Amino acid sequence: MVALLPLFLFLCVFLVLLLGYPVALSLGGVAIFFALMGGAAGTFDLGLLQALPSRIFGIMSNGTLIAVPLFVFMGMVLEKAKIAESLLTSMADLFGGVRGGLAISVTLVGMLLAASTGIVGATVVTMGLMSLPLMLKKGYDASLSTGLICATGTLGQIIPPSIALVLLGDVLSSAYQKAQLDMGVFSPKTVSVGDLFLGSIVPGLVLVVLYVSYILFVAYFKQGAVPAGDAREEGVSWAQVLARTLPSLLPPLLLIFTVLGSILGGFATPTEAAGVGAFGALLLALQRKTLSFDGLKDVVHGTGQVTAMVFLILIGATIFSLVFRGFGGDELVESLFGRLPGGVVGATLLVMLVIFLLGFILDFIEIIFVVVPIVGPILLTMGVDPVLLGVLIALNLQTSFLTPPFGFALFYLRGVAPEGIETKAIYKGVVPFIVIQVLVMALIAIWPEIATGLPEWAYALQ
């Protein structure tokens, strides 16, 4: 019975969460309660709690995590500055003559927003308010429109600079070092946020290509769901349209490529690049005169709220992780994985299934901070590549955002969709995109080089 206490702790936390209590307080509060009860019963060493101050100080002094508020600030400034609206207008001009051109434009703008904001909720709400009425007015099928907006909105989970990848990179770095020390490697290798950024580029682009391919497939084989393209002005070539739209396209594209290029090229750390991105977004908004002083106050306030939430959850998760390990939870999980059929493949599939199911009720931040520190070191000890594991987890979390009936992206869109849109239409619309994402996860599992090839190539050049 004592050996099962870690599982009871895990179960109790989720029951408290289902009752509606705040995540950070639930994680820390339940863990401390179990620790005190275990200490009174002689099953937990209360001396372990003395490590909490140093752990919390480690969070406060973690330079990588400074990237979180900076990337959040960057995304919120671009959202307030209405960059998305000008991007959608420009893309719609470029692809207006193609059947399904508006849907392709929505996909590409969603990809660019993902690369600039990294916040799923903000992207889905922005695209829902801006694109959905326009697509319905043009005659697009409601299911296709809502499914596409939900799917492109979740690209912020996998396309860098993603906040999920920043947090995953920090957690996996610690897990990877712990796994190597457990294997007797006392000069451990490292995995960085930049490695995860590199590893996620190709899978993210593959997703975008498959989304566009699906749109074209529907456009030409189910023409009732997609209207014909708008006729281009007589005498106006595609090159002229491109020249006309470049002024609105280039500045945000330049900002995104500067941020990513500085990280991937090794010229800046993610934190330094995030600072450049935040400053560049502010300059872009001021140059366009789209950000008032009140708007800037809202951005700063929103950034503070999101940052406080992330770090409070991280502190709660640290307390939970310490108590979970104090009860022998890591040994219990390792023993469970060792008994699974299929070895490392079976263990990885189980972890992916658990993360997928937890995605119905928990935000990605809680999953990264609670689940990954427990299962990560064990899977890495079994030989799973850290970049591969990080990309698979990010894709998995992205898929859970879309899956009915609890997918967060569905709730975000439902909140801003016109009254005539039925919930079942949204559920129906996301199914093909869920299939696409599961297919990409399967492809990466079969050919890990899709995720690991670019980081390995970059290391070879150094």
Contact 426, 407 (CB under 8 A): no
Question: What whole-number distance in Å separates Cα of residue 240 and Cα of residue 336?
Answer: 62
Residues in the chain with pLDDT values less than 50: none
CB 150 within 8 A of CB 404: no
Q: Tell me how crowded residue 38 is: count the other CB atoms within 10 A of its CB.
A: 19
Q: CA 178, CA 173: separation in Å to the nearest integer? A: 9
Determine the pLDDT at residue 211: 94
User: Tell me: the pLDDT tens digits for 318-357?
Assistant: 888 888 888 887 777 777 777 777 778 888 888 888 888 8
Helices 386-402 and 343-358, interaxial angle, to 10°? Answer: 40
Alpha carbon 227 to its chain centroid, in Å, reads 32
Residue-level pLDDT at 436: 95
Can you tell me the distance from the alpha carbon of 142 to that of 166, in angstroms, rounded to the nearest whole number? 34
For the beta carbon of residue 221, count every other beta carbon within 10 angstroms: 9
CB proximity list for 386: less than 8 A, separation 6 or greater: 172, 175, 176, 191, 195, 380
Q: Residue 186's pLDDT is what? A: 65
pLDDT for residue 187: 66
Residue 391: predicted pLDDT: 93
What does the DSSP 8-state code read for residue 403? S
The structure's pTM equals 0.82
pLDDT at position 448, please? 92
Buried b (16+ CB within 10 A) or exposed e, 332-365: bbbeebeeeeeeeeebbebbbeebbebbeebbbb
Round to whole Å and give the CA distance between 281 and 254.
Answer: 11
Hey, what long-range contacts does 47-51 have (CB within 8 A, 24 or more apart)?
48/322, 48/323, 48/326, 49/322, 51/322
Tens digits of residue pLDDT in 16-63: 877 877 777 888 888 899 999 888 888 888 888 888 888 888 888 877
Three-state DSSP state, 429: helix
Look at residue 2 in the predicted model and tell me its pLDDT: 63
